Amino acid sequence: MNGMAKKRIVALALAALMLVTVGCDAESRQFVIDLALEWAKEHAIDVGKYTLLGRSGDDEVDAVMGARDVVSNLQEADKLMEEGRAAGDLTKMEQAVEKRPGDYTYRVSYGAALLQSGDTAEAEAQFVAADTAVTSYGSQHVQDYATQGIDELGALRPGFERNGFATKQQCQAYYNRLAYFYGLRYQEARESYFQSQQTLYTGLAQGCK
């Protein structure tokens, strides 16, 4: 790699951010390299604060500074969850949840797998933790959460219909959870289908023996 190419690397890091405001031809690159040094001068206090305290005071910026660890953790957790889902390995799924406790997508899968295995109490604990996390994330996440829950619990239904529920608690937890997810969908979409499904599953939960 020649010297010019190396210079481009650094330039690109800045250029990618600045593409919306400056051009990206060869001259701009050199300009951006100079900017990088200029930037360091301009942010001398911020850099000093970050070097001393490890924080700039701006949460978003500080989060981006630590994003590399987040991404690495995310990749490991994704791998664990993927393997866990494929093999029905509860331990791997639990490890993924521990790595990213705020990720409701993991908790839904883990909760569904626990419910299927008959560990109703732990399944419910996972769903409750996901409920708590997702409520602070905004309505789109609530809808995504409910949709995933309906899909994953729905996928268990043929098995339960074929083999039956092991306990009354498992039956109630399963149908109540489905009713809850349909209720979330109804709250947002206001479609009668979701409401009717909520009513249906609430009734099925009440009929568990």
Q: Does 46 sit near another protein (CB under 8 A)?
A: yes
Q: Could you tell me which stretch among 50-58, 113-121, 155-163, 167-175 binds another protein (CB under 8 A)?
A: 50-58
Q: Identity (one letter) of the amino acid at 126? A: Q
Phi, psi of 43 (to 5 degrees): -105, 30
Q: Does 85 sit near another protein (CB under 8 A)?
A: no
Which of 58, 98, 151, 191 is in the footprint of another protein by CB under 8 A? 58
Q: How far apart are CA 158 and CA 27, in angstroms?
A: 64
Smallest Cα–Cα separation from 181: which of 146, 130, 137, 143?
146
Which of 27, 45, 68, 192 is in the footprint of another protein by CB under 8 A? 68
Asked if 22 and 28 count as a contact pair (C-beta separation under 8 A), the reply is yes
Using CB under 8 A as the binding rule, the residues of this chain from 140 to 179 that contact another protein are 141, 144
Q: How far apart are CA 47 and CA 32, in angstroms?
A: 19
- Looking at the Cβ atoms of 95 and 176, the one nearer to another protein is 95
Least Å distance, CB 58 to another protein, is: 7
Phi, psi of 136 (to 5 degrees): -90, 0
| Angle at alpha carbon of residue 206, lines to 174 and 131, rounded to 5° | 40
How many Cβ atoms sit within 10 Å of the Cβ of residue 20? 6
Tokens representing residue 186 in the block: 């109804």
Which of 86, 87, 90, 105 is in the footprint of another protein by CB under 8 A? 105
Which of 48, 79, 98, 137 is in the footprint of another protein by CB under 8 A? 137
Q: Could you tell me which stretch among 46-54, 87-95, 159-167, 177-185 binds another protein (CB under 8 A)?
A: 46-54
Q: Does 128 sit near another protein (CB under 8 A)?
A: no
Least Å distance, CB 161 to another protein, is: 30
Positive or negative: CA dihedral 41, 43, 47, 48 = positive
Residues binding another protein (CB under 8 A): 1, 3, 5-10, 12-22, 24-26, 33, 35-40, 42-43, 46-47, 50-56, 58-71, 73-74, 100-105, 133, 136-138, 141, 144
